[in-house]
Chains A and B, each alone.
Chain A
Amino acid sequence: MRTTIPRLSREFVLAGLLVSFGLAAAWFAKDYPMGNLRDMGPGYLPFHLGLLIAAMGVLVAAMSLNRTGDARAQPRAEESAAQENGDTPLRAVLAAPVAVLLFGFAVERLGLVVAILLATGTMGLAWPQARRREAVTVAVVLAVAITLLFPVLLRVPLPIWPSP
């Protein structure tokens, strides 16, 4: 995945997402009772809103085609900053979501402590220029602190240890 997508294709990506999201929404909504404007069923608004979103996607694409000229003329600050950073590593994008999912898998069966160790460990190791020892320390400190704060002190009902 690259960050330096030129403006034109960036708007086309957005347009594509909007069209597919809108059409999918309308497709699922067509099976819900539709009703009419006078007495709207549960499908009425989602169906039309879906179509409208798809239409907006087409508009975004059309506008970007129309504007190609002057968009090239003025490169934007954000883009030049992105260029300095170079490529976006997939690792940096996925580390946090993966940490969240690991937490979710672990917390039900293995308890909060293990779940936090897994989540913070993932984050620590995925960090650019990871320092292993520091990552482990941070994970342990956070696991202890969060366990003391939420289930113990604030009495939030969460399983702390693995359930038998």
Chain B
Amino acid sequence: MGDLVANLSLGFGAAVTPGNLMFCFLGTLLGTLVGVLPGLGPITTIALLMPFAFSLEPVTALIMLAGVFYGSQYGGSTSAILTNIPGESASVITCLDGHPMARQGRAGAALAVAAWGSFIAGTVATLLIAVAAPLMAAVALAMTSVEYCALMLFGLVATVVLASGSVLNAICMIMVGLLLGLVGTDVNSGTQRYVFGVPLLADGLDFVALATGLFGITEVIQTMIAARSPAAERTGEVKSVGLTGEEWRRSWKAILRGTGLGSLLGILPGSGGTIASFASYALEKRVSKRPEEFGKGAIEGVAAPEAANNAGSQTSFVPLLTLGIPTNATMAVLSGAMIVHGIQPGPKVISEQPTLFWGLICSMWIGNFMLLLINLPLAKLWARGMEIPQRILAPAIVSICCVGVYAVTNSFAALAIMAGFGVVGFVLRRLDCEPAPLVLGFVLGPLLEENFRRAMMVAKGDLGVFVSRPISLALLIATALVLLSLSLPLVRRERSLLKECEA
């Protein structure tokens, strides 16, 4: 307990400097903006900010980039409520009751409960990370490369199963990503793999170019195609943003339940906030005395998933910071950002960079508080932002992507890679393949190879080592169970429902 207080005060000391506060604010503000605007997501934004963040102190850079991530979850709910278009995948569920509320003229209450729910969830999740992360890091330090391999396998498989879409396709995408991750100079032997005489490729496929292409450019292509169909409906003037006593009474329990469920699901590998919001909506509907109101503007149906997705996106930092394993695509991008700054995500971050670790955790609480200020009084302004037409936004996104990638690489080859992966991403989506598992595989590729090689060298080529060590065996059994769970009717139904909502 004393440790906790000491750690938190170390963290607040690091987070509360004028510079860090400013970048925390900037990150959350930008995050809200990209969350509101359809077409620009946190992954693209973080990838774009990486070159500019490079010149900052590592802790400041991470505070800003993390702010973009959880800020976008707030912004995503604003566009879900007002226009019925989820700005982010985590706010898909918010559309179900948030938009009906807006149509009934209760947009202000929906926005307020989303903001308060997210803030309460963020506060609880921050405390939870502070307690859970050191424990997990301690376990992680005792793990060898055998356990790491098994854990990465579990993480990759769990992500696939919990995410939407075809499982087979997602597994294929992971493998393609793993292979793309192996491009470049092999660290053990110095052999250049798949370099084809391009100097840029000797350092591996550039992560910023790959992620910006797959998410930013692909999104622009899809917007351009969608631009030929009529625009989405807009509803609801935002009057005052606030909650009545009755509305508080109805939503506080839902917020707490959403927070609990979301925090738990966020730590597990999976797609973080999205799954959390979905599960908590289902839970709320089940425990409610008025299940018939759900889908028609029930305030609990906004409160619980909003709390859950914020809690979940925050606790999804735990596996990254303690095990070094990103469990969703945004964490994969953040992991890339940490490596760019010379920090290897993993159990040693807490002991070797305590200021960075606790500063980042505490900045999340501060950021959530700032988001409350950004969102409650300024909701009307954000509603305006949604009116920027795509034909103005799209050229801006393309130019910012170009400038970002060129600034970090100074290379035409990187721009060509970005353009190429933009088309690849578009083709893959047309073929029912999500780019997120590919990015996850890409980031884990080199890690998996390194650990697998080391494990095999120590075990003298005996694959049996994976089942003879207990933790590794347990993880492999868990992986198998997760795969088997796919055949359960309940899981199938929930996954197809999730897919329906995202379509």
Task: Identify the A interface with B (CB < 8 A).
Answer: 3, 5, 10-11, 13-14, 17-18, 21, 25, 28-29, 32-33, 36-43, 45-46, 49-50, 52-53, 56-57, 59-60, 63, 76-78, 81, 84-85, 88-89, 92-101, 103-105, 107-108, 112, 115-116, 119-120, 123-124, 126-128, 131, 134-135, 138-139, 142, 146, 150, 154, 156-158
Q: Which of B168, B221, B396, B461 contacts A60 (CB 8 A)?
A: B168
The reply to whether B172 and A60 form a contact with Cβ atoms under 8 Å apart is yes
The reply to whether A85 and B422 form a contact with Cβ atoms under 8 Å apart is no
The CA-CA distance from A60 to B225 in the complex, in Å, is 28
How many chain B residues sit at the interface, stated as a range, is 35 or more
Whether A158 touches B423, Cβ cut-off 8 Å, given contacts A42-B189, A104-B412, is: no
The CA-CA distance from A128 to B222 in the complex, in Å, is 12
Residues of B within 8 A of A43 (CB): 191, 193
Instruction: Write 25 A-B pairs (CB below 8 A) sorted by A numbering.
Output: A5-B430, A14-B433, A37-B461, A38-B461, A40-B453, A42-B189, A42-B193, A43-B191, A78-B503, A85-B226, A85-B228, A92-B224, A93-B224, A96-B220, A96-B224, A99-B398, A100-B416, A104-B402, A104-B406, A104-B415, A116-B402, A120-B396, A123-B220, A123-B395, A138-B396
Residues of A within 8 A of B453 (CB): 40, 45
Q: Considering the complex, which residues of chain B in the window 478-501 have a beta carbon less than 8 Å from any beta carbon of chain A? A: 500
**Least CB separation from A137: chain B residue:** B392
Residues of B within 8 A of A128 (CB): 224, 227-228
Which 6 pairs of residues, A with B, have the shortest CB-CB distance?
A38-B461, A42-B186, A104-B415, A97-B419, A120-B395, A123-B395
**Least CB separation from B503: chain A residue:** A77
Whether A123 touches B169, Cβ cut-off 8 Å, given contacts A14-B431, A84-B229, A96-B224, is: no
B217 at the interface (CB under 8 A from A): yes
Extra A-B contacts (8), CB below 8 Å, given A43-B191, A142-B399, A158-B407: A10-B432, A99-B402, A101-B419, A116-B402, A126-B224, A127-B224, A150-B403, A150-B407
Q: Which of A45, A123, A157 contacts B398 (CB 8 A)?
A: A123
The reply to whether A105 and B221 form a contact with Cβ atoms under 8 Å apart is no
The reply to whether B456 and A38 form a contact with Cβ atoms under 8 Å apart is yes
Q: Which of B169, B193, B406 contacts A14 (CB 8 A)?
A: B169
Whether A38 touches B460, Cβ cut-off 8 Å, given contacts A92-B224, A142-B395, is: yes
Whether A96 touches B398, Cβ cut-off 8 Å, given contacts A56-B172, A56-B175, A158-B406, is: yes
Q: Considering the complex, which residues of chain B in the window 391-409 have a beta carbon less than 8 Å from any beta carbon of chain A? A: 391-392, 394-396, 398-403, 406-407
Q: Which of A5, A42, A104, A119 contacts B399 (CB 8 A)?
A: A119
The reply to whether A46 and B179 form a contact with Cβ atoms under 8 Å apart is yes
B452 at the interface (CB under 8 A from A): yes
Residues of B within 8 A of A157 (CB): 407
The reply to whether B179 and A50 form a contact with Cβ atoms under 8 Å apart is yes
Q: Considering the complex, which residues of chain B in the window 359-415 have a beta carbon less than 8 Å from any beta carbon of chain A? A: 391-392, 394-396, 398-403, 406-407, 412, 415
Q: Considering the complex, which residues of chain B in the window 188-203 have a beta carbon less than 8 Å from any beta carbon of chain A? A: 188-189, 191, 193-194
Q: Which of A53, A85, A93 contacts B172 (CB 8 A)?
A: A53
Query: What's the A-B contact tally at a CB cutoff of 8 Å?
Result: 200
The CA-CA distance from A97 to B418 in the complex, in Å, is 8
Q: Which of B51, B217, B228 contacts A156 (CB 8 A)?
A: B51
Residues of B within 8 A of A108 (CB): 412
Residues of B within 8 A of A126 (CB): 224
Whether A92 touches B221, Cβ cut-off 8 Å, given contacts A53-B179, A97-B422, A124-B391, is: yes
| Interface hub of A5, A60, A92, A131 (most chain B Cβ within 10 A) | A92
The CA-CA distance from A57 to B169 in the complex, in Å, is 9
The reply to whether A85 and B399 form a contact with Cβ atoms under 8 Å apart is no
The reply to whether A28 and B172 form a contact with Cβ atoms under 8 Å apart is no
The CA-CA distance from A156 to B423 in the complex, in Å, is 28
B457 at the interface (CB under 8 A from A): yes
Residues of A within 8 A of B463 (CB): 37
The reply to whether B391 and A127 form a contact with Cβ atoms under 8 Å apart is yes
Whether A57 touches B172, Cβ cut-off 8 Å, given contacts A3-B430, A120-B395, is: yes
The CA-CA distance from A35 to B408 in the complex, in Å, is 36
Q: Which of A38, A49, A100, A142 contacts B178 (CB 8 A)?
A: A49
**Least CB separation from A91: chain B residue:** B224
The CA-CA distance from A19 to B253 in the complex, in Å, is 52
The reply to whether A119 and B179 form a contact with Cβ atoms under 8 Å apart is no
Residues of B within 8 A of A120 (CB): 395-396, 398-399
The CA-CA distance from A99 to B221 in the complex, in Å, is 12
Q: Which of B52, B224, B423 contacts A154 (CB 8 A)?
A: B52
Whether A119 touches B168, Cβ cut-off 8 Å, given contacts A46-B179, A93-B423, is: no
The CA-CA distance from A93 to B228 in the complex, in Å, is 13
The CA-CA distance from A5 to B179 in the complex, in Å, is 28
The CA-CA distance from A33 to B392 in the complex, in Å, is 51
Whether A10 touches B398, Cβ cut-off 8 Å, given contacts A49-B175, A100-B419, A127-B227, is: no
Residues of A within 8 A of B169 (CB): 14, 60
| Interface hub of B394, B398, B416, B452 (most chain A Cβ within 10 A) | B398
The CA-CA distance from A46 to B229 in the complex, in Å, is 43
The CA-CA distance from A124 to B175 in the complex, in Å, is 37
B466 at the interface (CB under 8 A from A): no
B420 at the interface (CB under 8 A from A): yes
The reply to whether A101 and B461 form a contact with Cβ atoms under 8 Å apart is no
The reply to whether A49 and B221 form a contact with Cβ atoms under 8 Å apart is no
Give the distance to chain B from A10, nearest Cβ to Cβ, in Å: 6
Give the distance to chain B from A148, nearest Cβ to Cβ, in Å: 12
Give the distance to chain A from B170, nearest Cβ to Cβ, in Å: 11
B176 at the interface (CB under 8 A from A): yes
